Structure 1
Amino acid sequence: MASVRTATTPRLIADIGGTNARFALLRGEERDAEVVLKCADYPDIVSAIEHYLKQVGASEPQARPREGAFAIAGPVTGDVIRMTNHVWQFSASQTRQRLDFDRLIFMNDFTALAMAVRHLPRSDLEPVGGGRALPRTPIALLGAGTGLGVSGLIPVGEHWIPLQGEGGHVTLSVMNEREIEVLKQLHQRFSHVSAERVLSGSGLVNLYDALCALEGVVPEPLTPPDVTRRAMEASCRICMEAVSMFCALLGTLAGNLVLTLGAFGGLYIGGGIVPKLGRLFTGSHFRDRFEDKGRYAEYLAAVPTYIIHTPLPALIGLAHAFSEPGPRWEAE
């Protein structure tokens, strides 16, 4: 199909998570019409997109985008895409056809974040601990929200190549007796206790429930925001321990990721949970556990870690997806 896109036709970019779908229109290098919708309010991805386009006045033919790039919270390995923590599943090619787009790119949400990281304002990056980034060396990323995302950014010649994987589903690593007891509790519920089973919104509740069981306390039906709020208020001892353990376990995972990638360019933390924890995170054992790698403690002490505070950062990466290389699935 011949493209009818003009210089004034916007592109649609969208970060589709397990809970929220974040949309914007891209006009040249500028974003506007940013809107966040609840995924649960729509039966499928196309319904959410059409609602957004109508809401921002971009549904009519003369204003409608002809190209799009979508970041998806789940593996993107072929035409059929199934979200890990939401019920939506769809065909990339059928989605393009239903939207009447000329071009539609799909990629993992943390691949999009990896594409963004070099373009984030320095003022939006909060350092945690010491270290100094080395130029032209790999960068590591992870972040907890509805799920747990993991990626990296690798320098190759004049380009930076983002990684696409499912590192949030690696087996959880524990370091002390208390964590081993929690892991035993979780094994009663899950045949495989992945990192995401504790390092996510639902993971915070899993930690709380497991700690209640160890304490012989009947757990309350808390939501992830309940756990973090009570921890920040210091109104619930078990919630405080759950958040403290979350931070420590995230530090262990982050150290593993940096060792795997040789990420002397730094570790960047995104997602919806950590940026909201404030001093609970910066004063936690995250950095201690990040560096707690025996003979490689000095290696990790040299690597800086940052919390990303940029609003909707994956959209910045998606804006570069139309022209920069990286793993993706282009709908036929």
Structure 2
Amino acid sequence: MTAETYALVGDIGGTNARFALLQEGSVKPLALEVLPCADYANLDEAVVDYLARAGVDSVDEVCFAVASPVTGTQVRMTNNHWRFDIHAVQQQFGWRTFKVINDYTAMALGVLHVTNDKLVHVCGGPGNPARPKLVIGPGTGLGVSGLMPIRNGWVPLITEGGHVDFAPTDETEAAILRILHARFGRVSVERILCGQGLLNLYQAHAELQGLAAPLDTPDKITAAALERQGTLAHQVLCHFCTILGRAAGNAALTLGSLGGVYLCGGILPRFIDFFLGSPFQSGFEDKGRMRPLMEFTPVYLVTDTYTGLLGAAEALGNPEVQ
């Protein structure tokens, strides 16, 4: 591989950093590597290691999607220890172009390149493909973005919509809010709709019902729910899907996303069959007078693991992304 031929893209989350190379004019990721963020002191160490693994000495054009707000030049990752200055890193490596975008901005752009075989229809439709698209999904955090149509393409939205307030709709959820408020103070919807959030929800339900809560990781809760080993775990995972449906529906109403809702992130693909049979759809569509609009809006589950990399690749050549 030669430095003159390839660009570098990355999708850096709270747990893993995904890197790939691009040929000029292509968004297809090559030489994919997934590196645990915990194994590196900071971004620059991971980049050096990746380029060595890929057999490339240097690159000129780079775009990284990061699970963090991007304002100014200082980037502080929300869910891991990495911190870096955009200008300092660009100078360190001598990159001609260096774009840093929010991970869900990249996820939104990546949806434009996800193939149909990587989309699972959840509910709704047919929608209107000329209208905005919503991209939302639980992972290490809750990402929210969107795509606004323009004459010759799409403009991605930069949001922190996962940090809006959790809004309970019944007495049980009001009690859950009180429990979480005692732990965290302000309770955003991300306190529930992410990996750690599933554990928070499980522990809150256990406290309310006076039950033991022996499961101590999101994966254990999911496994117990899928195997029906514990009625509490099954109840909690169903509730998780309901709340996600309501949150996605609220965001869809706000954005007017008749172009479709795209559910991304690393959690949902682990239990697709359960999810499709869950109360997600009822949570999404239960919007009173707006129910017909919600039923008209198509919802898809995105199963492409590298959607964020596709979006970072799109961002490199997209003049709307600075």
Range class of TM-score, shorter chain: over 0.9
Deviation, structure 1 residue 8:
4.2
Corresponding residue to 1:12 among 8, 14, 17? 8
Amino acid at match of 2:113: H
Whether 1:306 aligns to 2:304 is no
Give me the whole-angstrom Cα distance separating, in 1, the residues matched to 2:167 and 2:147: 23
What are the superposed Cα offsets for residues 261-309 of structure 1, whole Å, 9 maximum, x if unpaired? 1111010000000111112211111111101111111111100100001
> Which residue of 2 is the match for residue 3 of structure 1?
none
> Which residue of 2 is the match for residue 244 of structure 1?
238
> Which residue of 2 is the match for residue 127 of structure 1?
121
> Which residue of 2 is the match for residue 139 of structure 1?
133
Deviation, structure 1 residue 168:
0.5
Whether 1:232 aligns to 2:226 is yes
> Which residue of 1 is the match for residue 83 of structure 2?
89
Corresponding residue to 1:267 among 261, 264, 273? 261
> Which residue of 1 is the match for residue 201 of structure 2?
207
Deviation, structure 1 residue 191:
1.0
> Which residue of 2 is the match for residue 52 of structure 1?
50
Deviation, structure 1 residue 221:
5.3
Give me the whole-angstrom Cα distance separating, in 2, the residues matched to 1:192 and 1:145: 20
Give me the whole-angstrom Cα distance separating, in 1, the residues matched to 2:60 and 2:93: 9
Amino acid at match of 1:65: V
Amino acid at match of 2:52: K
Give me the whole-angstrom Cα distance separating, in 2, the residues matched to 1:183 and 1:318: 36
SS in 2 for 1:70: strand
> Which residue of 1 is the match for residue 23 of structure 2?
27
Q: Is the 8 A contact 2:18 2:34 kept in 1?
A: yes
Q: How many residues get paired?
A: 319
Amino acid at match of 1:261: L
Could you say what the CA RMSD is over the residues aligned between the two structures, in angstroms? 1.4
Q: Is the 8 A contact 1:163 1:326 kept in 2?
A: no
> Which residue of 2 is the match for residue 168 of structure 1?
162
Give me the whole-angstrom Cα distance separating, in 2, the residues matched to 1:311 and 1:85: 19
What are the superposed Cα offsets for residues 151-171 of structure 1, whole Å, 9 maximum, x if unpaired? 000012222100001000000
Give me the whole-angstrom Cα distance separating, in 1, the residues matched to 2:127 and 2:44: 41
| Greater CA drift, 233-242 or 318-327 | 318-327
Give me the whole-angstrom Cα distance separating, in 1, the residues matched to 2:95 and 2:4: 16
Give me the whole-angstrom Cα distance separating, in 2, the residues matched to 1:48 and 1:305: 35
Structure 2 matches for 1:47-126, cutoff 5 A? 47-58=45-56, 60=57, 64-126=58-120
> Which residue of 1 is the match for residue 191 of structure 2?
197
SS in 2 for 1:155: strand
Amino acid at match of 1:26: L
SS in 2 for 1:152: strand
Give me the whole-angstrom Cα distance separating, in 1, the residues matched to 2:170 and 2:274: 20
Corresponding residue to 2:217 among 213, 220, 223? 223
Q: Is the 8 A contact 2:108 2:146 kept in 1?
A: yes
Deviation, structure 1 residue 7:
8.7
Amino acid at match of 2:191: R
What are the superposed Cα offsets for residues 54-99 of structure 1, whole Å, 9 maximum, x if unpaired? 11211x3xxx212100000010111001111111111001111222
Give me the whole-angstrom Cα distance separating, in 2, the residues matched to 1:312 and 1:119: 10
Give me the whole-angstrom Cα distance separating, in 1, the residues matched to 2:262 and 2:211: 36
Give me the whole-angstrom Cα distance separating, in 2, the residues matched to 1:210 and 1:186: 7
Runs of 5+ unmatched residues, structure 1: 1-5
Runs of 5+ unmatched residues, structure 2: none
Corresponding residue to 1:156 among 150, 156, 181? 150
Amino acid at match of 2:49: H
Give me the whole-angstrom Cα distance separating, in 2, the residues matched to 1:87 and 1:253: 28
Deviation, structure 1 residue 174:
2.2
Amino acid at match of 2:93: L
Deviation, structure 1 residue 173:
2.1
Whether 1:323 aligns to 2:317 is yes
Amino acid at match of 1:21: A
TM-score under structure 2 normalisation?
A: 0.96
Corresponding residue to 2:174 among 172, 180, 186? 180
